Chain A
């Protein structure tokens, strides 16, 4: 159904971005303010807030009883069979994303007003933040691959701008650049997948593509899987999976609300959303599904293991995000797209809460991010502590908080689905154990024990202002109750409907769904109990090690063996730089520039020029200016001519 309401949802943040962006540039140019952070914050928050309210209205009123509503403002590109309309579509899948994105964005915009207070570039900050929401909405609501791609790269741009927001710090600017380029590697895969699909399908609309692979797939098995894997490469870039996850930990250089919004709750989940969006294609590509499953599982374990040894509060959360995204891909790879989206949603709540909580902590600590110098903060900032703890319990998977339902469902589906695997289930279970451990380690080191920072820091410890704690409370509440809309039938004995599944299911199971092997209830219950036991185990170990930390944490530089490997993140960054980045640079300079361009090509050109010079030089020797010599040439020539005539003819 055509509905222009959607246009307002999408464009409001853009209007905010343009307004604040223009003012930010003018302010910087004229060195005086048209308006400052206060008005900028209000404009940005209002734009996103209204967008959220309109989204609620669109989803629950306009869309009720309908499969989807859409809006097509104009046709973008139309050449031959390539027809790309700018179409925004809200169906039951994008509706969930829409609400999560605009909802969490509103909360984080509000939080930002307090957080960015006093920064000279706050107007620019709000402009970028709004622009991000706009791009994210394009990504979610775009009904064809190119429009989706506009949002896909648009969020990448905003991520780049916001990571490097404090660009005067070279390291932060470099982190932004790294994020953009690593994302581009993923986009390279996405583009190839899109081309391959277009060459075969002849259309790029999402429903057209899904329908093609579902109903009349004329591509061979091999190429169908190639297409799936190409798209998934795009997802590994955006959603920070192996081998392209390296940008996300560095992205923590950005302001903390940005980490919460972009690098935890919304943008990084785009890859999961995309896989669910193209479930028709992925279900036709079992090998690609398997790749998704395994990459997800290995990433989940791998980055959870790195998180065990990190001391930077934001880095722990960053690796945790990578790991949780791995869980989502495990679910998607097992064919449980509903669960993947469910975990995406619950994760958005508790991870945003954790990041904002860490922002509150960092704020109080005067910029310190190392948990070795924290400790005992719970008495100074009770609101931050309680919300952080609740979110931790949620992510660790304790019932009945949000994370329990989604994570348990993932493990169950990986265990039982025809696309799943028992080994992957085991990997996931170990990753879940690690999750509970590193999260509680973080909580104990930050909030319990004695304060380990400087006296001056201790003096300044304070609870954050209301603009920051209220968002924390909202997100903490959602972390607690957010999972209740998706309670599995098994637990409620069918008494409570699984709202989430009923809502999203039709959209992501439209093009076939995966068969779940039949197990007795006993197996299911015992697996669930095991999930809970794992969470308890992780908590207990962390508690016994870090609750009342007496001794100082060891100096990471003195680590040996496995801890050294984990502390250094498996040296992946170093390996990439040494074996990929540096060779490209040195190939460019030493081979392409100095040898092939300067020596070979220019050498040949200049060589032929100097060659002519030499030939000319030989002839110029004869031009002596000496009359006798010329006379000699003349007679010599005449003689030759005479001889020629005499003897040859």
Chain B
């Protein structure tokens, strides 16, 4: 068995083994540290270590999937356990394994009932998420995709807030509606494959070779896109997200924002665009429009929130709008930006949820109006919060900027090429609105910071708040490191995906756009040449 399988197996085994441990803590026991917490932490840390081996043996220059494993499962239906990883999935894979120990650590205090179950579900969730990122067989992908719902269902449904049942049902129903559409699409694809190749297959590589008529592609794309769009979530399928986030326990929110939402984006980049290339190009203006609506709309809604967690949840919708915008621009800058932005969003929004959760543990409220003037009382907490806020508003020097900048720049480049080709102004207008997100983003975040941290400390209940503890500090430090590392030196991250993305763009970028874009670099060369001349003259 290969190393990649181990990263899946460790959390799965951990979860299974934990089931056989005696339930030492009853439903009512109140103790902050728990043996189950530490076990889950150890298991997820081990997974992370193994994944770092994967990363260090990852070959940046290879286009093909690496660490492939292909085991026949039900060969007559083409169901194989086929996994592998490439430059597009490696960063998301790593994000998951690194976020996991952190979220486990952050749950120690918050989770006070049914601890064993809770950590079992967390580990099981890790298994399913990692599985979805490495699956190379559409059926396996679908299984992981759907399995993910089960732990999330329990995490929100049992350990959530007061309206958790409503939120859980809404979350599951929304997601399932999309997934079933996708399932229908998957079965249709398999039948198409049988008609073409003479046997059922769900292998990505095989399915990509299918020659599907455009009309059919459009239907299939719609089915898949619905599933992904709900998961992202894109406007107008987003209303499950704020409810789920508000009710979920902190760790649930972190995982939800950090990884689960990326499944939708990942679905688009891995399946939606490659499988139905022509349909995706036809749908691109629509998808980009929805993405831009999401950017502006999500930001406006974040502005209107009085609950901290809801504000962060709506900001997610805005941030993920950027990701979708970039994916459908199909330029190397935009796609690399989008993938990086998925990671960035996991870092900054994940950290924001953690921070809000820490505040909630202290005050048992998330109403912005209950706070004010906290900066003086909690200087270190406020500093960390400020840094993460800046990353969220994409201040240059932080990770958020690199992602957002690349997406906007790359998308603008594509929009401009479309404009030059067919005088199409629409995409340029979209870009103006998309860029305006930087204003609204700063507005809702800084306004929130002002109301929570600045001004006089008037509320009596806030006067005895304690600053960050050592455990909380340890949880947050990795986030701060990544904020600046990616912001100042993104090369290690970008170089991981460079070859894969270039290959991807090469394949799926429309021919006309490609030709249009090739003209620009010629200018560059002459210019660089000229400037060199100018320099040497003196």
Chain A interface residues toward B at CB < 8 A: 25, 28-29, 66-67, 74-82, 146, 149-150, 152-154, 157, 160, 164, 167-170, 173-174, 177, 180-181, 184-185, 187-188, 191-192, 194-196, 198-203, 205, 207-208, 211-212, 215-216, 218, 584-585, 587-589, 592-593, 597, 600-602, 605, 609
Contacts and interface: CB of A to CB of B under 8 A. Distances in A.
B433 to A, nearest CB: 11
Contacts, number: 184
B450 A177 contact: yes
A180 B297 CA distance: 21
B150 interface: no
Nearest to B505: A80
B435 A192 contact: yes
A277 to B, nearest CB: 15
Contacts of A160: 446
Contacts of B406: 77, 79, 82
Contacts of B534: 207, 211
A126 B523 CA distance: 46
A150 B396 contact: yes
Contacts of A75: 491
Interface stretch (B76-84, B104-112, B453-461): B453-461
Contacts of A208: 524, 527-528, 531
In the A-B complex, list the 6 residue pairs whose CB atoms are closest, starting with the nearest.
A28-B379, A173-B454, A199-B416, A202-B524, A195-B412, A150-B396
B413 interface: yes
A25 B379 contact: yes
Given A157-B395, A211-B527, A79 B498 contact: yes
Given A79-B406, A170-B454, A588 B301 contact: yes
Contact of B491 (A78, A191, A212): A78
A597 B238 CA distance: 9
Nearest to A212: B527
A167 B490 CA distance: 33
A180 B446 contact: yes
Interface string B449-470: 1100111110000000001000
A199 B520 contact: yes
Contacts of B508: none
Nearest to A164: B454
21 contacts: A25-B380, A29-B467, A76-B491, A77-B406, A79-B336, A81-B521, A82-B406, A82-B409, A146-B396, A153-B395, A168-B454, A168-B456, A169-B456, A195-B409, A205-B531, A207-B534, A208-B524, A208-B528, A588-B300, A588-B301, A592-B300
B442 A192 contact: no
Contacts of B489: 74, 76
A205 B531 CA distance: 10
B304 A28 contact: no
A195 B431 contact: yes
A525 B220 CA distance: 79
Indicate the member of A168, A202, A207, A215 with the most B CB atoms within 10 Å: A202
B431 to A, nearest CB: 7
A587 B300 contact: yes
Contacts of A199: 412-413, 416-417, 520
Contact of A168 (B174, B373, B412, B527): B373
Given A25-B383, A188-B436, A202 B521 contact: yes
A592 B239 CA distance: 12
Contact of B442 (A81, A154, A181, A191): A181
Number of chain B interface residues as a range = 35 or more
Given A77-B494, A181-B446, A188-B438, 13 more contacts: A25-B380, A25-B383, A76-B489, A80-B502, A154-B396, A170-B455, A174-B450, A185-B439, A199-B520, A205-B531, A218-B523, A589-B304, A600-B236
A559 to B, nearest CB: 32
Contact of A597 (B174, B301, B436, B502): B301
Contacts of A157: 390, 395
Nearest to B173: A609
B402 interface: yes
B440 to A, nearest CB: 8
Nearest to B235: A601
A79 B423 CA distance: 27
A481 B361 CA distance: 62
A152 B521 CA distance: 27
Contacts of B405: 146, 191
Nearest to A167: B454
B523 A585 contact: no
B408 interface: yes
A188 B431 contact: no
A101 B526 CA distance: 35
B490 A584 contact: no
Contacts of A77: 402, 406, 490-491, 494
Nearest to A147: B396
B513 interface: no
Nearest to B454: A173
Contact of B397 (A150, A194, A218): A150
Contacts of B401: 150
Contacts of A605: 170, 173-174, 239
Interface string B407-441: 01100110011000000000000011001101100
B94 to A, nearest CB: 20
A139 to B, nearest CB: 11
Contacts of B535: 67, 207
B303 A191 contact: no
B222 interface: no
A453 B100 CA distance: 64
A74 B333 CA distance: 19
A195 B408 contact: yes
Contacts of B438: 184, 187-188, 191
A81 B406 CA distance: 12
Contacts of A200: 416, 520, 523
A205 B238 CA distance: 40
Contacts of B37: none
B523 A201 contact: yes
Contacts of A174: 450
B503 interface: no
B443 interface: yes
A205 B239 CA distance: 43
Given A80-B332, A177-B450, A589-B304, A601 B521 contact: no
A38 B79 CA distance: 72
A580 to B, nearest CB: 11
A202 B442 CA distance: 29
A81 B520 contact: yes
A409 to B, nearest CB: 27
A174 B303 CA distance: 16
B311 to A, nearest CB: 12
A178 to B, nearest CB: 9
B53 interface: no
Given A167-B454, A170-B455, A173-B454, A188 B397 contact: no
B397 A215 contact: no
Contacts of A601: 236, 238-239
B475 interface: no
B375, B380, B488, B527: residue with the most chain A Cβ atoms closer than 10 Å: B527
A198 B390 contact: no
Contacts of B455: 167-170, 173
Contacts of A149: 396
B244 to A, nearest CB: 13
B163 interface: no
B247 to A, nearest CB: 15
A207 B401 CA distance: 24
B197 interface: no
A544 to B, nearest CB: 45
A185 B412 CA distance: 18
A29 B379 contact: yes
Contacts of A184: 438-439, 442-443
B364 interface: no
A201 B396 contact: no
A28 B374 CA distance: 13
